[in-house]
Amino acid sequence: MSRLGEPAPVLLLADGWEDYQLLDSGAGRKLERYGPHTVVRPEPQAIWRPALDDSAWDAVDATFEGADEAASRWSFARTLSQAWKMRYGEVTFEARFTPFRHLGVFPEQAVHWDWMAPLISGAGRPVKVLNLFAYTGIASLIAARAGAEVTHLDASKKAITWANHNQALSGLEDAPIRWICDDALKFLNREVRRGNRYDGIIVDPPKYGRGNKGEVWRLFEDIPELLSLCRALLSDDPLFLVATVYAIRMSSRSLHNGVAEALSDLPGTVESGEMAVADPAGRAISSAIFARWPQG
């Protein structure tokens, strides 16, 4: 089968967590445990009935209420610490209640952390990794822990400060991580001109965003250029590229085709599909699509 053929999409389940669990889902909501705290958040995809009774849902520590961002907020059942430690493998990070219903970690991303870490540690040579739209830096820390020299880029100074804190919590203060606050496309173009190259690239762009100097990012308009620049920045012996997207209107097939086209001159096969977590009743909630290429 050619790399631009039609391989079946796959569903990747993040099932390696100890500090996170999807406890139940249904009726447009999901019941989750983040470390010591249980929370309820909206989940429009959960169109089935909850498996647990109301008492489990009513006993939570915090609920995110409202569908409109301007009117949405966290409601707390009791006084809680607004930040707490969590772990994944050997990496420690801080979770927080944010105004946008997120808590600083996207649990489904663990499927890619588990996938890339052995590629890095098993390379048998120095490895350079670029993490774009890198948020709180968990992927950067896992790559560094596996032995990579990491360039971490995000347009938000607050996110980079949070990632720096996670670096200290993980005891990786001396790890070779370069922290960059910049617009992704501008940075990538400069890296191409400089002749810098990377053995692995992680890409997790938002649907819409702004750079640190007001540059506008629009996923559907800008992702072709982004993927092309990523290809230009891959080394002569690259290990991987993984792209994830949380925009509902884009299918995994679209992302697959974009990555496959950008990497069409490289050996290996692009894998694509959805990233999800599942509750104890076996109902998987897919939060994002992905396409990833490992060295063939």
Over residues 94-120, the pLDDT tens digits come to: 999 999 889 999 999 999 999 999 999
Strands 240-245 and 284-294, how do they pair? antiparallel
Q: Which amino acid is at 5?
A: G
CB 97 within 8 A of CB 74: yes
Which residue bears the tokens 């692995």? 200
Where does the chain show beta strands of DSSP type E?
Answer: 10-13, 20-26, 29-34, 37-42, 62-65, 73-76, 83-88, 91-96, 128-132, 149-154, 177-181, 200-203, 208-210, 216-218, 240-245, 271-278, 284-294
Statement: the pTM of the whole predicted model exceeds 0.85: yes
d(CA 212, CA 184): 10
Over residues 24-81, the pLDDT tens digits come to: 999 999 999 999 999 999 999 999 999 999 999 999 999 998 766 566 799 999 999 9
Sheet holding 177-181, edge to edge: 10-13, 271-278, 284-294, 240-245, 200-203, 128-132, 149-154, 177-181
d(CA 141, CA 169): 10
Q: In the chain, what's the furthest Cα-to-Cα distance? A: 59
DSSP letter for 213, please.
Answer: T
d(CA 222, CA 211): 13
Classified by CATH at the fold level, domain 104-294 comes out as: Rossmann fold (3.40.50)
CB 117 within 8 A of CB 109: no
pLDDT for position 46: 95
Flag the least confident range among 50-64, 74-88, 151-165, 208-222. 208-222
